[in-house]
Every structure is written in C-alpha cells, then in structure tokens.
A and B are shown apart, each in its own frame.
Chain A
C-alpha cells in the first residue's frame, strides 16, 4: 500500500505543480492581454481561486509523506527517542481520526451539493460539488498517509526519529543550506 500511496501522492503533486504554473501564466497572460488591448479571458480570477483549493489538497498528502507540514519543535525536540516514538504514534492516530472525520463530512457535503445541483454562480457557473470534491480526496489521502506513518513507526522503531513529524526548527535548515549550495537532499 505504501508504494502505491507514494506514487499516487507523487502524481497528484505533479498535477498541483502544473496548477501552480497555470495560475502564474494565466494571470500573466491577462496582464499582457490588457496591455495589448486584447480581451482577457473572463474565467481567470474564478479558476485561479479554484486552483488554490486544488493545489492545497492535491499536494497535502505528498507534503506529509515528505515530513514537510511545519510544526513547533520546542518541546518535541527535547524528548528522548522513546518519547518521540510514542508521540509520533499518538500524532498518527490523532491525524487518522481527524482526517477520517473530515473526509467523511467532506464526502457527505460534496454529495449533498451534487444532488442539490448547487452552482457557484460567477462568470462561468460551476457546480460546487466539482470544486470541493478535492477536499475529501485530500483528507482521504492524508488518512492513508497517517496509517502508513503509524505502521512505519510501529514496525521500524529505529526509523521513528525520521518518521516523527518534522518540527519548525533547526531541522529545516540543512535543506535550505543544501539548496543554497546546489547539493541534493540536505539531511546531514
């Protein structure tokens, strides 16, 4: 399951990257169109708004698999390995419960919006269900990632250090410095 989940998350992250480029270039094009007095596409603002939502929920599971959801490390980093492992397991369980709940309600809301044919009335009328469908999908993938994380910590105690959720502290820095030095990775 871990490998398939990794591939799906990776593939969706690529779609999110394309959406990032889509937002940049469509807005860039609309400025250019205005300068050269050509009618700019009317859907740019509306679809860029949707893109922000889709980028977030297409990329969020991938971000979790890369340990890049930022957290506060003041206390966590001072825990010993065993306590970190326990905390990692607790966090994974909490994450599972939270994402399962949000996914469930997300599916419910999306289905309800779909059945009632609720439309987002803007320049182009778009069914709200199509816009928000990415939210339960994102939470479902997060739920699977938390399960994956839970079993990884449980089955490989030696990996618990790296599997525990990343904190916003000095651990972030080698990546930045490595990038600055033009090197790969940065975990040293």
Chain B
C-alpha cells in the first residue's frame, strides 16, 4: 500500500466512525485495532495494553485532572459571582459598561478555569438578563460573552493546552505560558471594541445610572472578594512564571488553593464538593481515554510510513513554509466549523506536528496558533459549541442566527491575533522565554 492510501485509510476510516456518532475514544481504538491487524499482525495487538499504559502513565498529563478540579470547584462554589459583583462596582460609567464587565471578568475567570463552556454559561446567566433589561442590543449582549468565553481554553489553567502539549510533545509549561499574552490581548481587544462601539453608537448599549459605592467600600470588597481569586491565579500562573513550580505542581497548588478559598468563604459543602469531584472525574476520564487511544493512533501512522510519506511530499513542495502554515490553519478553521476542539486536535496533531517540526516552526508558537484557532472554532457556525451554550442561556427572543451574527467580530479578533502572532512570534514566545531564562 502506498503511504497516501494508508493515510486515507486511517483518516477516512476515523472520520466515518466519528461522524457515525461512535464515541471519539472508541473510534480511535477501533482504527488502531484495524490498523494493527492490517499492518502489524497479531504482534501489534499484543502491544496495545503496554501502549495504553505508556500513553497515560506520564507525569506530563498530571495537570489535566487538577486544572479540571480547580475549574469545577470554582464553578460549583459560585465564588465567581462575588468577583463579578466587585468588578461591576469598579466599572463606573464607561460606554458599554456591562459588555466591558463581561470582557474583564471573562478574562479573569479564564485565568481560574479551563472550561470555556462553563465560562460562557456563567457569564451568560449572570449578565445577559441585565444587559437586555438595560436595553443593550442583541449583538452587544451576546457578542462580548461569546468572545471572552473561549479565552478559558487559551489562558492557563487550560486542560486542552496540556493535552495539546502532551500529544504534540511540546513543553507543557511553555505552551501554558505562551497562551497568557495572546489571551490578555484578545480580552483587551474585545473590551476596546465594546467601548468604541458603544461610544460611536450609544443605542447599542444605552448608558444608565449606577448606584454609588464609596471608595472605601469598594476597596474593602476588593480585598475581601477579589484578592482570593488573585491568590488562585497566582498559585498557578505566578508560581510557574517565578520558576517555583512545574506545571503539575502549579496545577496541584491551584486546586488546593481553590479548595481553601471555598472553605474560608463558607462555600464548601459536601454536596458541592461531591458534585465538583464527579464533574472532574467525568471530564478527566473522557479526555484521558481519548489520549490513550489517539497516542497509539499516532504511533501506527508513523510505523506504517504514512507520516514520513506526507512529510516527503511537503518537503518536496517548493513553497514557502508560511503557505504550508496557512493551509494548516485553514484546515483547522474549517474543521472548527463542524467538530469540537479535542477531536480536531487528535486528528490533526499526528499529521501537523511532524510537518511543523520539519519546517522548523517553534513548537510552542505553532501550538498557540493551533489553540487560538481551536478556540475560534468554538464560535464559528454552524456547530460552534459556544453558540449552543449561549442559546441555552439566552432569553427566548435571541435566536441562534442572532448569536452567530454577534460572534462575527470576535471571530475576526481571533484571526487578527493569529496573524499578529505569525508576524510577531514574541507575542506568544516572550513569556515562555522568560520562563526558560528564569
């Protein structure tokens, strides 16, 4: 069999299984079994158990469950509500006040939780009713929330960044830190866009009188409710930047810090804890099963020569590496319209990473571009996950079409940031560089 026939066999077969609705993990396992039987014989099958073991029993995957525990604890303890409340008091009378509040709080929450769905649902539930009651347009109500919702995937603690780093054999700490500045940049661009839009066209977000809070009270509430969130963020991002902890250690300290904050603030109950642990286990097992299956998939692709065949073709193409990069980004963006992030990651990484390495791309830089693209895929129609999350929390008068239209500017911001990182890689690589030198 030629390498391209093998590649079509594997990727085509996988896509058929996935589209049939068979769970992602089992689809990968099935293709692995077929591939082993066809190309390696029974000896290959005998190696499966050891392959699974070596795929999962890896310390680099350890941050995944702990980042998830952190997000679940924050989500179920409703500590974020207090943060939202205090940020609201600091906003004053800026144009597009509630939209700006969504962008600032969304960026802050992204630094405490790895779930973009939870981030979007939480902001949507908390802010949408008030935005609509204050006469905000549909686009100004829904757009900012969708725009910042996805940042959770980019700014640490991001479980998907750990998965991407682990499968793509990229430095976990490097990739986590590389997402910080692009994430903040996106949050800033979204905030700026909201203020300018509301300033130019006030009917989008009519100004309204807010209740006065004295500076003393604001400072007191900030110390009381915002500092704990800063403490959690510090325990993850701060410790990694300062070189005091590895990503796994930072994840553990973040999870423990979150647990301590829930206890200190009287939000701990066994029911809440049990719900958070159940949620954490569900997501952890779901992700790790997919990793167990897909790592073997990558090995089979390499063993059969499909990967090297593809690499030879790309090497022989007389085109600029940037063109290859753009094609890969377009493929990711296209797939993002139809599939969710983890499937795309698992299908594309075994093919894309060897190409990226061969072309001499910095793996951390390439990983960040991929993460932003996957984040963008969550809000691109027709199947962007965040569009459906927003529909589920939005009032009845907001249709799916309204939500899709509202998300357009924020998709453009993602594209702009991708372009900026391609042109100025330092945007993504400066912080990981500091990490190495520190």
Q: Which residues of A contact B (CB under 8 A)?
A: 13, 16-17, 20-21, 23-25, 27-28, 30-31, 45, 48-50, 52-53, 55-56, 59-60, 62-63, 66, 68-77, 87, 90-91, 94-95, 98, 101-102, 105-106, 108-110, 128, 131-132, 135-136, 164-165, 167-170, 172-174, 176-177, 179-182
Nearest CB of B to A129, in Å: 10
- For residue B278, which residues in chain A have a CB less than 8 angstroms away from its CB? 17
Q: Number of residue pairs across A and B with beta carbons under 8 Å?
A: 216
A77–B59 alpha-carbon span in the complex (Å): 37
A109–B251 alpha-carbon span in the complex (Å): 34
Query: A179 near B392 (CB under 8 angstroms)?
Result: no
Query: B117 near A168 (CB under 8 angstroms)?
Result: no
Known: A63-B286, A108-B46. A72 touches B24 (CB 8 A): yes
Query: B49 near A110 (CB under 8 angstroms)?
Result: yes
- For residue A27, which residues in chain B have a CB less than 8 angstroms away from its CB? 62, 66, 248-249, 251-252
A170–B339 alpha-carbon span in the complex (Å): 12
Beta-carbon contacts under 8 Å, B126-160 to A: none
Q: Kindly state whether residue B285 has any CB partner on chain A within 8 Å.
A: yes
Beta-carbon contacts under 8 Å, B1-37 to A: 18-27, 29-30, 33
A118–B249 alpha-carbon span in the complex (Å): 30
Interface of A is mostly: helix
A23–B69 alpha-carbon span in the complex (Å): 11
- For residue A135, which residues in chain B have a CB less than 8 angstroms away from its CB? 49, 52-53
The contact sample of 21 A-B pairs, CB cut-off 8 A, is A24-B66, A24-B256, A27-B66, A49-B58, A52-B61, A70-B23, A70-B342, A72-B24, A87-B21, A98-B26, A98-B29, A101-B45, A102-B29, A105-B49, A128-B53, A132-B49, A132-B52, A135-B53, A167-B21, A170-B388, A179-B275
1/0 contact string of B227-264 vs chain A (CB within 8 Å): 00000000000000000010011011101100000000
A102–B32 alpha-carbon span in the complex (Å): 11
A100–B169 alpha-carbon span in the complex (Å): 31
Known: A23-B62, A70-B23, A74-B19. A136 touches B49 (CB 8 A): yes
Query: How many residues of chain B have a CB within 8 Å of chain A?
Result: 71
Query: A20 near B65 (CB under 8 angstroms)?
Result: yes
Q: Kindly state whether residue B398 has any CB partner on chain A within 8 Å.
A: no
**Among the listed B22, B29, B56, which residue makes an inter-chain contact with A91, where contact means beta carbons less than 8 Å apart?**
B22
Known: A72-B340, A109-B49, A165-B22. A16 touches B388 (CB 8 A): no
Query: A177 near B393 (CB under 8 angstroms)?
Result: yes
Known: A24-B255, A24-B256. A59 touches B285 (CB 8 A): yes
Q: Kindly state whether residue B164 has any CB partner on chain A within 8 Å.
A: no
Interface of B is mostly: helix
Query: B62 near A102 (CB under 8 angstroms)?
Result: no
A143–B252 alpha-carbon span in the complex (Å): 34
Closest chain B residue to A182, Cβ basis: B78
Q: Kindly state whether residue B282 has any CB partner on chain A within 8 Å.
A: yes
The interface centre, meaning the residue of A48, A71, A109, A110 with most chain B CB atoms within 10 A of its CB, is A71
Nearest CB of B to A100, in Å: 11
Q: Kindly state whether residue B343 has any CB partner on chain A within 8 Å.
A: yes
A160–B333 alpha-carbon span in the complex (Å): 34
Nearest CB of B to A132, in Å: 5
Known: A59-B285, A168-B343. A75 touches B21 (CB 8 A): yes
Query: B26 near A95 (CB under 8 angstroms)?
Result: yes
Query: A24 near B69 (CB under 8 angstroms)?
Result: yes
Known: A20-B69, A173-B117, A176-B117. A72 touches B49 (CB 8 A): no
Nearest CB of A to B54, in Å: 9
Beta-carbon contacts under 8 Å, B106-127 to A: 117-118, 121-122, 125
The 5 closest A-B pairs by CB, nearest first: A76-B21, A27-B252, A69-B23, A59-B285, A170-B388
A28–B121 alpha-carbon span in the complex (Å): 30
Query: A56 near B289 (CB under 8 angstroms)?
Result: yes
Query: B389 near A176 (CB under 8 angstroms)?
Result: yes
Query: B26 near A69 (CB under 8 angstroms)?
Result: yes
A90–B16 alpha-carbon span in the complex (Å): 14
- For residue A23, which residues in chain B have a CB less than 8 angstroms away from its CB? 62, 65-66, 252
The interface centre, meaning the residue of A17, A69, A128 with most chain B CB atoms within 10 A of its CB, is A69
A17–B279 alpha-carbon span in the complex (Å): 10
**Among the listed B48, B256, B284, B288, which residue makes an inter-chain contact with A28, where contact means beta carbons less than 8 Å apart?**
B256
A63–B292 alpha-carbon span in the complex (Å): 15
Nearest CB of A to B292, in Å: 7
Nearest CB of A to B102, in Å: 15
Closest chain B residue to A136, Cβ basis: B49
A57–B245 alpha-carbon span in the complex (Å): 29
- For residue B50, which residues in chain A have a CB less than 8 angstroms away from its CB? 109, 132
14 new A-B contacts, CB < 8 A, other than A28-B252, A180-B122, are A20-B65, A27-B66, A30-B249, A49-B62, A52-B61, A63-B289, A66-B282, A70-B290, A73-B21, A74-B338, A76-B20, A132-B53, A167-B21, A168-B343
A27–B303 alpha-carbon span in the complex (Å): 36
- For residue B284, which residues in chain A have a CB less than 8 angstroms away from its CB? 20, 55-56, 59
A43–B202 alpha-carbon span in the complex (Å): 61
**Among the listed A62, A71, A128, which residue makes an inter-chain contact with B23, where contact means beta carbons less than 8 Å apart?**
A71
Known: A20-B65, A72-B339. A25 touches B57 (CB 8 A): no
Nearest CB of A to B276, in Å: 9
A21–B338 alpha-carbon span in the complex (Å): 35
A66–B283 alpha-carbon span in the complex (Å): 12
Nearest CB of B to A168, in Å: 5
1/0 contact string of B59-79 vs chain A (CB within 8 Å): 101100110010000011010
